Amino acid sequence: MNKEEFVKLLHQSIIKENRNFYRDIFNNTDINEVTDPYWKEALMFYSELSDKNKEILFKIIEQVEVDAVSNILGVLDGVVSIGEEDIEFKVTINNNNEPINGDLQDLFLEYDEENR
């Protein structure tokens, strides 16, 4: 697996699968069966939205996910800092010692732009 394939798999498994998960949970969960106060409140909020605003909400959720993954990849690439200490990561896949990080964030954002 190369870094392009890694980024594609990340996007598919996190962004696309979560999009389907959230659509399913918001559209198919019976609010009367929910015990978690957060989800009950979220489902009530969702039920009050127009169809257009429901689609906007899903776009917001997707963008937040893209931003979160992008920021994590930026940390691994060394272009986004966490804390005051310099931390260097070496991301490798399986037994290949060749690092794949360095431009993962850019590759991920390019893939997202091309496939959204």
* pLDDT tens track for 17-45: 999 999 999 999 999 999 999 999 999 99
- Domain span at residue 46 reads 3-115
The answer for 114, left when phi > 0, alpha when psi is -120 to 50, beta otherwise, is alpha
**What is the pTM for the complete model shown?**
0.89
State the chain's mean pLDDT as an integer.
94
pLDDT of residue 87: 86
Total domains present in the chain: 1
CB count in 10 Å sphere of residue 53: 11
* 76-100 confidence digits (pLDDT tens): 999 998 888 888 899 999 888 899 9
CA distance linking residue 113 with residue 116, whole number of Å: 6
